[in-house]
Chains A and B, each alone.
Chain A
Amino acid sequence: MDITNSQMHKILTGKQNFSMLSFSMLITKQKAIYARDSTPARLQACTDEVSGFIRKYSAVMRADITIISEL
């Protein structure tokens, strides 16, 4: 599953809680960066990074994928 820019924007500006430790930390880092730099290029970079993460760990982050898919 790849995440869309729309879903990513909702995550970066919302208050979702995730269960996988490294994913929660990644999103927290991205939210801090996006708060300083809310450009389309930064959003795309966040989307690409999270999509790569999900492709790698999809088997062990089903609960978090469900949260994303409902955004």
Chain B
Amino acid sequence: MLLSFDETVKKIASGQLLHIAGAEKLLKKLPCGNWLGGSTEYFMAKEGGIVTDDLLYVNEFAYNEYIITTYDADTIPSIMSDAFDNGFTLIILPFDSAVHNIYAAQAPEFLGMFIKNIAGWVSGVNADKKGQVPLTINGQTGIAYENMAVAVHIRIPDDKLVNIGIINIFKPNKNSPVLEFAQEGFSVQTCLADGKEVVLANFLKQNAIDTKLPLIGDYSGAAINTAFKSVENDVVEFYAPVFPHIKYNFSEPIEDYIKEFNERLSEFTNVEAIFACNCILNFLYGDLAGKDISTFFGPVTFGEVAYQLLNQTLVYVTVT
């Protein structure tokens, strides 16, 4: 829920475990307590899509057994070893930090990944303001980080199960070539398109590919997005790495983001998520500010985590 600073302070005083997303200036002023947080000024709330540095998005977790901790680029590979067997980990990574890049490239290889549950998001800044940096905060110490991930490992009762789900409104374009990359990376010059080597930047231009639409990777039935960041000279940059063992397609165009989102969300009206986040690219490209979304409220983020790093995706966590 979106709360004022004073309402959030009261929540912290209650001692309950909290996840807090909000403006850097507010997060840094919050008192110490059982919380972790990250910076964003974009939110999906019951009131609709909103950009604000006056309110904080707060999730309360009614679990008593948890560990809030931090990871740097060297320690992040052990994160799932610290997770509870029955539970989930909520992680926040500062955008474009070393720990963000290591997580993006290597998370699938982390010991315990997939059999244990991890979800979360990448913190960021307000694109219209200068001087901000993506932050994470360990609320127990009050320390803010530009280069550390903060995470909470939560144990849930043995008779409950965690489900981490995604909502991806994009579909592979049936006319798309199959794209394959020789190396893992955020940055690409060449790739194979239907088996033929091409300069990707040229291929995008020659085929009038809309780079607001992500590449869609085929993960044994799961459609996983990788978003374009920039195309300059002959170099294509992505917001998440592409991988050599994945086959990618371009996306079908989306004519109406809001309509598409709400149609997909209507399939989930009975789902009670304890955490959700949605991508800043969906927010910006879909012009979601001021628009109503029917469910799955939370921070709008600069990368999403559902086990591994995702782009242009809504992530949610349920416990049933």
Contact = CB atoms under 8 A, between A and B. Distances in A.
A41 interface: no
A35 B219 contact: no
A25 interface: yes
Interface string A15-59: 011110111111111011001000000000000010011001101
B91 to A, nearest CB: 15
Given A21-B307, A22-B117, A28 B219 contact: yes
A60 interface: yes
Given A22-B164, A56-B115, A28 B246 contact: yes
Contacts of B307: 21-22, 25
Contacts of B221: 16-19, 24
A35 B245 contact: yes
A19 B220 CA distance: 9
B114 A53 contact: yes
Nearest to A11: B220
How would you classify the secondary structure of chain A's contact residues: helix, strand, loop or mixed? helix
Given A16-B220, A28-B220, A60-B163, A23 B114 contact: yes
A49 B115 contact: yes
B163 A27 contact: no
Interface residues of B, number: 23
B288 interface: no
B220 A17 contact: yes
Contact of B245 (A21, A23, A31, A52): A31
A18 B161 CA distance: 19
Interface string B240-267: 0001111000000000000000000000
Interface string B152-170: 0000000001011110000
A25 B245 contact: no
A67 B110 CA distance: 27
Given A29-B109, A60-B163, A22 B243 contact: no
B245 A28 contact: yes
Contacts of B115: 22, 26, 49, 52-53, 56
B243 A32 contact: yes
Contacts of A49: 115
Nearest to B224: A25
A48 B244 CA distance: 25
B299 to A, nearest CB: 20
Interface string B104-147: 00001100011101000000000000000000000000000000
19 contacts: A19-B221, A21-B165, A21-B166, A21-B306, A22-B115, A23-B114, A24-B220, A25-B222, A28-B220, A28-B222, A29-B108, A29-B114, A31-B220, A31-B245, A32-B243, A32-B244, A35-B245, A49-B115, A52-B115
Given A24-B220, A25-B222, 9 more contacts: A21-B164, A22-B115, A22-B117, A22-B164, A24-B221, A25-B108, A26-B114, A31-B245, A32-B244
10 tightest A-B contacts by CB? A17-B221, A32-B245, A24-B222, A26-B114, A24-B220, A28-B219, A29-B108, A27-B220, A18-B221, A22-B114
